[in-house]
Structure 1
Amino acid sequence: MKVCIIGAGPSGLATARRLLEAGIRDVVILERQSTVGGNWTWADASGHSSIYDTVRSISSRDMTAFEGVPFSSTVGIYPTRTDMLLYLQRFPARFDLERLIRFNTHVVSIVPSPEKGWRVETEGNPPEYFDAVCICSGHHWKPLYPDLPGKFSGNIVHAHEYRDCSRFAGQRVLVIGCGNSGADIAVDLARHGCQVFLSLRRGYHIVPRFLFGMPSDVLYSRLRRVLPDRVLRPLAELLLTAYRHYVVGDKLPEPNHPLFATHPLVNSELLPCIRKAGVQVVGPIGNVRGAEICFGSFPNQRRRCGAAQSEFDTIIACTGYEVSHPFLEDSITGGSTDALVERLHLRLVHKTMKGLYFVGLLQPSGSLWPVADAQAKFVAAHLTGEVQPPTIEPAASDCRDRFVPSPRHILEVNGEDYERALLALVSARGGALQ
């Protein structure tokens, strides 16, 4: 069996490791960048990375690491971008993966082949044929820009282009969106003297990195072992609401959704920054006229937060990414993220295209790495004939109704539940999977 892996980021490396462990030796990893690391290769010239200088993992060290490969004890509880990249760069040597990787290799097309499995064409090289292809190329590289109601006369920058605050010194900056990147970038700008406004469409539950002296994700994971979600989630939501009110009062709108119905916003610095007016919260954009932007009020809120209008030099759009696989035809993907998800068993195995897998095409509530590793184990077991997708999808792999209905949450899953469901299937090893 010959298998092609697209991408030498976390998902691709995990997949290669598990394939080798399963006895699949003819493996090729095609990587468009000059080094391993995927999105964590901050300075790579290809422009693939969306990482900025101050970024840290939103999951703690122990909840991020791959099975059997802990971070060094010298790494902080929440690894920096450098820590994450060094970890990934050391990973191939640990599992003898270097010989499998072809760097600076741009994939042009992947199509089914009547002769043998899949035909993979790369730029400047003859096509190759594989029995199976694992797409591990990530989904945080093609910026999604907001559709502004009017023409803005200043600069519009996507978070994908943001590296540090130096180019925005002395400016009035509007940050659109309060995901983890939006919160980080707003705080970074405020710390360095910019006048920062943060435009929100809704309220958010903001999770501090530490609770009661413990990493918040570790604490929550431990509590889930003794308390059912129907009890734990309301308690956690009540605690976070009380903390938010204590720090910023009514300077933030109230969330209109339950805790974890959106992707977790993990940040310990945004609330203090709002309290000190380093970051001013405003509502959704209502109108744009040149440098002037008018803001609307929040739905179902008693009062308007922040200014009604103001002028800005720059907009930084922290508005997410489009899921894109330019080397695959629409007949394979369905032409949209929603259609592609519908075509996958377990968010992983293509239902009609034999030998095609999508590893890491998820937005888990915790770290992606252990989730992708569980997917890699399933792929290896599936390719060796030891396991098949169940006839009925586990609830953990089809849980879109649990999240706020928006394009951002099409890929969202509860990471721990999904990982556990996959590993249970793998451990069954061909048993009753109904």
Structure 2
Amino acid sequence: MSDPRASSVGILGSGAAGLITAYTLLQDGFKNVTIITRDSTPGGIWADQRVYPGLTLNNVHGEFRFSMLPVPPAKDVTKRLSGFEMRDYMQKFTDQYLKGRIQYGLDIISVTRPNGQSSGWNVKVKDAKTSEKKTLQFDKVVSCTGGCHEPYIPEELSLASAKAVPFKGRVFHSSKFRSQLDELQTDGKDESALGEVVIVGGGKSAQDIAAYLANKGVKVTVVFETADAFLAVSSPLPDFIRRSRFLSILSPHSTLESRLERFLHTTSLGNKITHFIWKQIITGSFTAAGITDDSPLKNTHDAFWGIRINDEGVPKPDGFFMLAKAGKINVVSPARVASYASDGESVMLNNGGKLRADTIVLATGYTSSWHPIFDEETSVNLGLNRHPPHPQFLKTEGEWNHYVSLRDPPKAHASAKQWASSIYRGIVPAKNLLNRDFAINGALFTTNNGYAFEVVSHWISSYFLDDKNLKLPSSPEEALTLADRNGAWLRKRYPDMLLWVNESYSSNLCFWTWPQTIDELLKDMGLKTYRSGGNWLTWPFKVIELEEIKHLKEERDALRSQQK
């Protein structure tokens, strides 16, 4: 049998998931590893051309990094890294570990099987500068394109709709904000040239852009129906609360491994304690940000039932919430921008209102990055697409009826409309399980990306190496059954969330319960779980550090040698 390490591996995307996957494969002895990206610098959403002033990381300091490279102290008073600091970190990691491994400026056109073959991959690319097209061939592919790559723009707000009116001002997606600022600077102008700005959306990018413009003296209005939930505190929380398993055990997982979790989510007393703590967290966040009951800023997703949550830390005087409170950012909510107005200089709201605008920033999210590069035939053959829930798994949702903490969910669409992912563990398309030539890193929705990306990279490497200690389903059918079961759990745990998340970012929603999900991946590999230590009383409060997984390669090597 040929050595898998001789295989050529193409990694699609140079974001954090792509960088750590390439690093792990190289450490495991894969010689021919190439990262392909349309960007001119590494980092994905943290690439130089995408970061902009005011952009901040939505993670506690020290979480979004890799175990082998410490991250420098944050300059921001809230201890949140800026987009520019993350850009520098990604560049440093690349310079130190991945020199010569990235092919920049290549727009991926398609990923297909060679004609008539059931293995190997053709990756067709176009040079961003010369428009020259060529096909790169790989034995294995890892998709690390993420879910923040292809902008989602509703048809009624598209550039085509704007031209049809015609709308006289600027219209662009939030992902293009940096390039718009660069254009202004090139023309010798500043942000005032944007005039009155209307930002569509209530997510993190909408809030960061609004705060940046308001601090530059620009008149800004933000319109949203429901904004992201947020966590805020009047003073920094201790690490044993914010960087431990504390919040994870307060969020139910599909399998309750510990006695404490079973108490919190399957007993009446535990349920009261769980929801009391979450209520205090939510109420405390509003209080810390000074948000009153009559404020439109109160229109947020529920922090317990949803996954749209921003971690603000201590609110800054020049941040979104303080500026909105001070009247320097106009907030219109609940409302939705329905169309461009016929006067060519306004937008119409779904409540009949009208807002004048010289510039429209569409912070409307992202669609799946898979659809542009995998055609329908490849998606079907690979098993990449979502599918309607099997009737059996609509009944399976009852498996968790004994979870008392989930007994009063918010109103949701019918489960049959919430399609299930076909991706096993959020890493391998179930249908392609036995081929061991395709994997995904970056499709787990977690609050600790650095830890998750790194553990997943080891799982993928073990999968490609055909490690005997890696526990896998026995067949594609079994893998799909397990993926369907997870889909049933997600419909139960996060009502309606599957309706808006895109596949390439959210094949598995393990938001607060990322430690439990990561433990499942470690267990798959035969590795130690609950790595932070502690006893029966202290383990929920032990700080989780990336150093815990710094030697996963050596641990996997030891298991492999035992197999021999």
What TM bracket, shorter-length normalisation? 0.7 to 0.9
Q: How does 1:49-128 map to 2 (within 5 A)?
A: 49=50, 51-73=51-73, 76=76, 77-95=79-97, 97-113=98-114, 114=117, 116-123=119-126, 127-128=135-136
| AA at the equivalent of 2:442 | G
| AA at the equivalent of 2:379 | T
- Is 2:47 aligned against 1:36? no
* Equivalent of 1:319 in 364, 379, 389: 364
SS in 1 for 2:123: strand
> Which has the larger displacement, 15-24 or 161-170?
161-170
**Corresponding residue for residue 215 of structure 2:** 191
**Corresponding residue for residue 46 of structure 1:** none
Label 1:20 to 1:137 Cα distance change in 2 as closer, same or farther (>3 A). Answer: same
SS in 2 for 1:156: strand
SS in 2 for 1:82: helix
What is the distance in 2 between the residues matched to 1:126 and 1:228? 48
| AA at the equivalent of 1:112 | R
* Equivalent of 2:426 in 344, 347, 350: 347
How big is the shift at 1:79? 1.2
**Corresponding residue for residue 490 of structure 2:** 399
Query: Greater share of helix residues, 1 or 2?
Result: 2
Label 1:186 to 1:315 Cα distance change in 2 as closer, same or farther (>3 A). Answer: same
**Corresponding residue for residue 179 of structure 1:** 203
Q: How does 1:151-166 map to 2 (within 5 A)?
A: 151=165, 152-163=167-178, 164=181, 166=190
SS in 2 for 1:184: helix
Mark the runs of 5 or more structure 2 residues left unpaired by the alignment.
127-131, 185-189, 253-270, 388-418, 528-564
How big is the shift at 1:36? 1.9
How big is the shift at 1:201? 0.9
What is the distance in 2 between the residues matched to 1:236 and 1:257? 14
- Is 2:528 aligned against 1:409? no
> Which has the larger displacement, 400-409 or 187-196?
400-409
Give yes or no for contact 1:257–1:404 (8 Å, CA) kept in 2.
Answer: no
Query: Greater share of strand residues, 1 or 2?
Result: 1
**Corresponding residue for residue 11 of structure 2:** 5
Give yes or no for contact 1:154–1:314 (8 Å, CA) kept in 2.
Answer: yes
- Determine which structure has more spread, i.e. the larger CA radius of gyration: 2
Label 1:389 to 1:52 Cα distance change in 2 as closer, same or farther (>3 A). Answer: farther
Label 1:331 to 1:417 Cα distance change in 2 as closer, same or farther (>3 A). Answer: farther
| AA at the equivalent of 1:271 | F
SS in 2 for 1:342: coil
Mark the runs of 5 or more structure 1 residues left unpaired by the alignment.
44-48, 298-306
What is the distance in 2 between the residues matched to 1:204 and 1:9? 24
**TM-score, normalising length: structure 2:** 0.64
| AA at the equivalent of 2:520 | A
SS in 2 for 1:35: coil
Give yes or no for contact 1:116–1:130 (8 Å, CA) kept in 2.
Answer: no
Give yes or no for contact 1:396–1:417 (8 Å, CA) kept in 2.
Answer: no
**Corresponding residue for residue 136 of structure 1:** 144
**Corresponding residue for residue 374 of structure 2:** 328
**Corresponding residue for residue 301 of structure 1:** none
SS in 1 for 2:63: helix
Report the RMSD for the aligned CA atoms in angstroms.
Answer: 3.4
| AA at the equivalent of 2:449 | L
**TM-score, normalising length: structure 1:** 0.82
How big is the shift at 1:121? 3.6
Q: Which runs of 4+ in 1 moved over 6 A?
A: 215-218
Label 1:396 to 1:155 Cα distance change in 2 as closer, same or farther (>3 A). Answer: same
How big is the shift at 1:199? 0.7
Using the aligned pairs only, state the percent identity. 19
Q: What per-residue deviation string (whole Å, max 9, x for no partner) do you get for residues 334-366 of structure 1?
A: 5997459723111110222332112113443x2
> Which has the larger displacement, 399-408 or 333-342?
333-342
**Corresponding residue for residue 229 of structure 2:** 205
